[in-house]
Structure 1
Amino acid sequence: MTQNPTLSKLLPLSALLALGLSSLQAQAQTAVPTVVPTVVRIGHVGPVSGPQAHYGRDNENGARMAVEELNAQGLSIGGKKVKFELVAEDDAADPKQGTAAAQKLCDAKVNGVVGHLNSGTTIPAAKVYNQCGLPMISPSATNPELTTLGYKQVFRLLANDNALGAGLAKHAAHTLKLKKVAIIDDRTAYGKGVADVFAKTAKELGLEVVSQQYTNDKAVDFMAILTAIKNKKPDGIFFGGMDPQAGPMLRQMQNLGLTKAYVFGGDGICTDKLMELSSGAKTLGNVVCAVGGASLDKLPAGQAWRAKYEARFPKQFQVYSPYTYDATMVLVDAMKRANSTDPKVYGPKLVEAAYQGVTAKVMFEPNGELKNPAMTLYTYKDGKKVALN
């Protein structure tokens, strides 16, 4: 390093040494290359438009929370610093849009997928993901068909309709001692699936199915269906569908004087939003609904997780966001165990999962079903959803 002669005469030796050291440090700092993290993209698909948008937003929020927390950990996988990004798509609860969203994620070469919400979108999308080699964990699609398709990297994070429909039928027969039930379903893969299981189990338990009616997932007027059912005088009505239909149905049941019949349904109607959609109908208190998991309030980490969620996404919680959160974490856990974010490398590790999540100790059967899934029954009291078990 060449020193300025005039400066050398004016400064003491110690100052010159300090100046030289400072210069060398500055050069060393500029020579250190910046570490650019490897971007790992997690796809999420759900209905964030249309009447089921509150479900989709809730699911997306759960996945987003997981991504934010993972990034805060500053993880390295396979010796490389990683940064996670959520790639969110909207399927509007429509099967065609669902397969299009799946293909979009395949083309974008995301590293894994959390979704879809509905069985009717998840089942056809699973074929697309299978073809392009993307692991997929659904947080909420409960139709049993999903895990019978033979796709090795398709997983489900909660109990299926066989558990939900059967559990509700057993509650109707054994706990409530009902004799006659009517059934309505919306003809979707989810609604028909859970209703069929309820009907089959109810008959096996000696319940009489006095009426079986059908609607669709866009309907809002159920007066004709409910009038036909009322004449059969059932003790309970099972609805296979989602809350945008269940809410108006509860109001119309009250208007028709169907105020003593229990109303059964799966996780599709078991939301906080149902209270708003039913507009204060007294029949809300007759609802008994099932969710494929333990009550969040009763889980060791559940209340703390819910508090974090409410702070991040106030008044948006519905049902499945803890499951999308866990699904995202399970994908990344497999990446860490495989020392790779490559779907071909970490995908086979998913079936070996033993991850302690918010919703459960996540372990999978060889076909992708959750091992030892819990189920919780809920009802509505004083404007709140409360667990019965």
Structure 2
Amino acid sequence: MLFKTKFIPLAIALAFAGSAGAQEVVKIGHVGPVSGASAHLGKDNEQAAKMAIDDLNAKGVKINGKAVKWVLVPEDDGADPKQGTAVAQKLVDAKVNGVIGHLNSGTTVPASKIYFDAGIPQISPAATTPQYTKQNFNTAFRVVANDNKLGGTLGAYAVQKLNAKKIAIIDDRTAYGQGVAEEFVKGAKKALPGVQIVGKEFTNANATDFNAILTSIKAKNPDLVFFGGMDSVGGPMLRQMKALGIKAKFMAGDGVCTEALPRLAGDGIGEGQVTCAEAGGVTADQQKGMDDFRARYKQKFNMDVQLYAPYVYDAVMTMATAMQDAKSAEPAKYLPYLAKVKYQGVTGLITFDPHGDIKDGALTLFTYKGGKKTKMEVVK
């Protein structure tokens, strides 16, 4: 009995010693559509989040001097608002320390209320609707420019640089598509008050047949067609525009501005016919860092960056930096540090305004030549 009474306290002491020295686990949720029409974009984002988590672990990034095991908790929202709120609640229940996502504005906005109620910081690497940060949720941040800048800049560019006088508008009725189209019209009218909006047509995010709306547009003979939506719809739309003999320029926001668009559009891509913008951009002095990231990404995943992978990577690293600054991964403790963070990332300096929008957000304008996405210019 004497042996037992000495052994039990020793075992307990060893157990406590082991738990005291155990690594802290920091769970970062990531949400994007890894199923459905935009799965290639969701996968692009999710892989970039994995790359950032792997880098944090490989570098042995600590919090308050203590070893940390960084863990990615990925979820699929299918670009569907209901699914988006369901997985948001799932991440809250899993007690994640922070969330990177969502990709689509239509899923980001409803999910943001769930994260706010739970006090969990959220950084979207892609959602551009102004509504996201207008809700005054102190947990909501984004690392790309919003639709006010994206759509407005494209509208001004359409009339000033592409000399568009008659413009037709098509949007997919999502929060993103409708929002960017509205801001485009405002930007075009402000830059050229006499510009004619000769038609406004609507489709949906899963449509494949646009003959009726394109036939209506063709009769109005526009110089330019602006589309608010994603590449999975924009690509087939370009094919059908060519088939109908519509020779107008085609312009769109970031949802269409992907590496996949030439594959989706086929011979409808044209040569310099499409102008689109990414809601982010790097200046010449930052280009090498972006090129190095893209090369590392391709080596790791055997595929090219599609669109927002660099912004996802920076979002994870920005969140980790705020945790290091706060010396804590507890949401309530690092949230104030996230609001004032300064992180020099692949995509440039990340710091937020009082609403959670990135300060001095840039846009990059692209076209397609020889079937390749081709950079035109960065607009601040």
Question: What is the TM-score of this pair, normalised by structure 2?
Answer: 0.92
Distance 1:307 1:316, change over 3 A: closer
Task: State the secondary structure of the residue aligned to 1:79.
Answer: coil
Structure 1 residues 320-358: Cα deviation after superposition (integer angstroms, max 9, x where no partner):
000010000000000000000100100111111110000
> In 2, distance between residues paired with 1:348 and 1:43?
19
For residues 241-280 of structure 1, the C-alpha deviation after alignment (integer angstroms, 9 at most, x for no partner) is 0001001000000000013x11010000000011110123
Residue of structure 1 equivalent to 2:206: 218
Q: How does 1:108-123 map to 2 (within 5 A)?
A: 108-123=94-109
Mapping 1:22-33, distance limit 5 Å: none
**Superimposed CA distance per residue, residues 46-84 of structure 1 (whole angstroms, 9 cap, x where no aligned partner):** 000011000100000111100000001112212321010
Aligned to 1:9: none
Indicate the larger mover: 288-297 or 348-357.
288-297
Matched position secondary structure for 1:341: coil
By how many angstroms is 1:202 displaced?
A: 1.7
Measured in 2, the distance between the counterparts of 1:341 and 1:257 equals 57
Q: Any idea what the Cα deviations from partners look like across 1:112-158, whole Å, max 9, x if unmatched?
A: 00000000000000000000010000000000111100101100101
How many residue pairs match? The answer is: 357
CA distance in 1, matches of 2:59, 2:188: 49
* Bigger Rg, which one: 1
Q: Does 2:350 align with 1:362?
A: yes
Q: What is the CA deviation profile of residues 332-388 of structure 1, one whole-angstrom value per residue up to 9, with x for unaligned ones?
A: 000000000100100111111110000110010011000001111100001110111
Give the superposition deviation at 1:286.
0.8
Give me the whole-angstrom Cα distance separating, in 2, the residues matched to 1:124 and 1:93.
12
Contact (CA 8 Å) 1:202, 1:208: kept in 2 or not? Answer: no
Deviation at 1:170, TM superposition (A): 1.0
Matches within 5 A, 1:91-170: 91-170=77-156
Which of 265, 272, 281 is equivalent to 2:252? 265
User: Once superposed, what is the RMSD of the aligned Cα atoms?
Assistant: 1.4
1:283 aligned onto 2:270: yes
* 1:59 pairs with 2:45: yes
Question: Could you say which residue in structure 2 is the equivalent of 1:294?
Answer: 281
AA in 2 matched with 1:77:
I
Residues 275 and 284 of structure 1 are in contact (CA less than 8 Å); yes or no, is this contact kept in structure 2?
A: no
- Percent identity, aligned pairs only? 52
State the 1:317 CA deviation: 1.8
Task: Return the alpha-carbon distance in structure 2 between the equivalents of residues 315 and 183 of structure 1.
Answer: 33
Distance 1:296 1:188, change over 3 A: farther
- What letter is aligned with 2:196? E
User: Tell me, what secondary structure is at the counterpart of 2:272?
Assistant: helix
Structure 1 distance, partners of 2:87, 2:353, is 27
Q: Distance in 2 between matches of 1:374 and 1:79?
A: 35
Shift of 1:296: 8.3
Gaps of 5+ in 2: 1-16
Q: 1:250·1:284 contact (CA, 8 Å) conserved in 2? A: no
Which amino acid counterpart does residue 77 of structure 2 have in structure 1?
D
Q: Which amino acid in 2 is paired with 1:286?
A: Q
- TM-fit CA distance, 1:176: 1.4
4+ residue runs over 6 A deviation: none
Tell which deviates more after alignment, 61-70 or 275-284. Answer: 275-284
Aligned-residue offset at 1:36:
2.5
Q: How does 1:367-378 map to 2 (within 5 A)?
A: 367-378=355-366
Q: Does the CA contact (< 8 Å) of 1:238 and 1:264 recur in 2?
A: yes
User: Aligned partners of 1:54, 1:284: CA distance in 2, in Å?
Assistant: 24
Structure 1 length-normalised TM: 0.89
1:28 corresponds to:
none
Per-residue deviation, 1:282: 4.5
Of 42, 56, 69, the residue aligned with 2:55 is 69
